[in-house]
Structures are given as C-alpha cells and as structure tokens.
Amino acid sequence: MKHPYFNKAVMTPFDRLIPMGEQVPYFIYFDVPAEDIDVNIHPTKTEIKFENEQTIWQILMAAVKESLGKFNDVPSIDFDTEGKPDIPVFQQTSDFGDFSAPKIDFNPQYNPFNSNPRQPSVPENWEQLYEGAENASSPDEVQQLGQFDESTLFSADEMGEMEQAPSEPVQSALNSGIAEDKSPAHYQYKGKYIMTAVKSGLMIIDQHRAHIRVLYDEYRRRLADKSAATQKLMFPEMLQLSPSDAVVMQKILPELTALGFDLSDLGGGSYAVGGIPTGLEGLNAVTVVNDIVSLAAENTVSVDEDINHSVALGLARDAAIPYGQVLSNKEMENLVNELFASSNV
C-alpha cells in the first residue's frame, strides 16, 4: 500500500536530488502493534490508518536525512599524507633577489579575425590636394588644382580595390535597399532547453519548467478572478477515488470548479468529469484530476492558500510543454517573454 503522508516524509529529504518527473520505487517495512492500525478505511484493504502518524512521520524523515548524510558520495578531506611528496611553500629569501611580475606586450588594435586589414580612409599625403589653394586668385585656378592624379595619392593595391565591383551579396543588398537579418534569436537544445542571448551573456532555460511557471501564474489568476472557461466533453468520463482522496477532493472541489472543471459528485468517491478548462484539449481528464488530487494529498493542504497553490501547480505540470517537443522560434520567443513577465522572475 502507498501512504501519501509517509511518502512525503521520504521524498522531502530528496528534494532536488531526483530529476523532476522521475518516480523512484521504494519499500518500507513496519513492525507495528495490531491495535495501533486500522485497515477498515478502504473496501479493498489497500490503505491503513496509523494511530501515531505524526510521530512516525518525524522518525521517517529523520532516518532518510541521516542516511543521505551518512552515505553521500561527496569526497571528504584526506588527512593521510604518509608516503606522499611534500612540496614546501615557496618563501622569498635574499638569495633569490627581487622578483617582478612578467609583462606581456601586445597590440590592442590587432584583430585575429580580420584577414584583410582595412586601409585608412584618409591617405597620408592628403595635404597635396590643398597645396597652392590659399594663393589662388581666381576660381579657374582653384578648379585646376582639383585636377590631380589619383595614382599619386593612392597605392596600386588601393586603386585595384576601388576599381573592383562589389561582391554579389553586397550588390544584392544594395539593389534591395535593405539587408534583412534572418538569424534566430533563440535556439532549442535537445528538445529540452532554450538558449537565448541577454545583455549579461547566454541564458539557458528549461522549457518544461519555464512553461510550468507561466501556467502556474495563469491558473492562480483564474482562481482569483473565477473567470475560467470550460470545454465540455462529448462523453463524461468516470473518476473513482479512494476514501482518503475523496476527502481531499471535497476540499479542493471549489478551486477545481473555478479553474473550469465540470465535476459531478455521484457518491461513494465517484465523480463524473463533464468538462475541463480550455487549453487542456488532448489531455486525459481523469489523469489530470487524479494528479491534482494526489499532489494536494501529499502536501496535506489545509488552508485556502495551500489549496490554490496545489491545484494550480498540479494543473500546470500536466498542461506544460513536455520534454522532446520541438518549438518554433516564435513559440520560444513567446515563452521567454511570458517567463520574464511572470511574478517570480
């Protein structure tokens, strides 16, 4: 049997140690007196009620934390130095004299990516253009001064470069008037991460977790405004809950209705799912509701804020973009913009 409350006691110490979405099976054996348990809370005998659940929860959590600390693979400091070479710390003495840091000489104007260095735009002997202009007495004399030989101002290589026609890409850009930049602003890596350039450098975003963050804010807003739309199902789907999950369902039913779920209580832990929130088309309605109820049970919700958090988070996890889904550049751009606009960024 799976006990949601004890399961949380085991999984809490493993926070951030297990990849998100991974389920690690485990088994725990208890020796408990028969008078301290109740096996009649479920018709199929799949659940057990313990008398001292709070005490057992603390013991479980402490035992798991102790095991993680005892068997962690973090290397410890090695104080056993016997047989190892001992390299003394260097100490400057008068025998070595004074030392100075080495100096590195380099050309700050050097560009390793420039294979053809650009020639200066102004020739060194440009003064020849104006020689005699100040002594000219008429416009004709000034015009004659402008009739100079270009070969005296520019070298043979420079003259050849000026006579060459523009390359085909440059000529095409000149003809069109605008050179369009079609380079994408975002890149997707292995269907899991979005890489985007920011002012401080390169940012790598987990697409699944980013979408969870965006959807979580959206569902919290719907819960606050109570303005969610419902997509009716053609045929209602049946949902059967255990007695303990049925108790949790009664707590979160108003929040599920505010999000857009259409749930009808048939009694005995049975519910008919007649509609789901818009935007969840393609997802299994029963699976989504079960996931939300399980998350709420694990978090042992008791107040309105905790209920809203659990319901919104559970729905966001099911509706978020999965790993492996290829996104277009426009979809990545929209996701990044929505992430930066979320409340937790």
What is the model's pLDDT at position 180? 44
Q: 131 pLDDT exceeds 70?
A: no
Token pair belonging to 320: 């978020």
H, E, C per residue of 196-262? EEECCEEEEEEHHHHHHHHHHHHHHHHHHHCCCCEEEEEEEEEEECCHHHHHHHHHHHHHHHHHCCE
What is the model's pLDDT at position 134? 56
Conformation bin of residue 241: beta by default, left when phi > 0, alpha when psi is -120 to 50: beta
> Where do we find the tokens 């949380």?
8
Q: Are 339 and 239 a contacting pair, CB within 8 Å?
A: no
Q: How would residue 39 be classed by pLDDT, with cut points 50, 70 and 90?
A: confident
- Cα–Cα distance, 269 to 244 (Å, whole number): 9
What is the model's pLDDT at position 123? 57
Residue 26: C-alpha distances to residues 6, 14, 29, 191, 295 (Å) = 12, 13, 10, 30, 19
Q: 4 pLDDT exceeds 80?
A: no
Mean pLDDT for 156-185 is: 52
Stronger pLDDT, 305 or 142, i.e. the higher one: 305
Q: 268 pLDDT exceeds 60?
A: yes
> Where do we find the tokens 């202009």?
133
Q: Are 248 and 293 a contacting pair, CB within 8 Å?
A: yes
What is the model's pLDDT at position 332? 86
- Cα–Cα distance, 312 to 327 (Å, whole number): 24
Token pair belonging to 298: 């694990």
H helices then E strands: how many in the chain? Answer: 10, 8
What is the model's pLDDT at position 66? 80
Token pair belonging to 271: 């519910």
Read off φ and ψ for residue 176, nearest 5 degrees: -80, -20
What is the model's pLDDT at position 254? 82
What angle in degrees, to the nearest 10, is found between the helix axes of 4-11 and 285-298?
70
Residue 42, judged by CB atoms within 10 A of its CB (0-12, 13-18, 19+), counts as: middle
Conformation bin of residue 250: beta by default, left when phi > 0, alpha when psi is -120 to 50: alpha
Model confidence pLDDT, tens digit, residues 109-125:
777 777 665 655 555 66
Q: Which domains does the chain have, with CATH numbers?
A: 4-70 (3.30.230.10), 207-338 (3.30.1370.100)
Model confidence pLDDT, tens digit, residues 48-81:
788 888 888 888 888 888 887 776 643 455 666 6
Q: Are 319 and 337 a contacting pair, CB within 8 Å?
A: no
Q: 1 pLDDT exceeds 80?
A: no
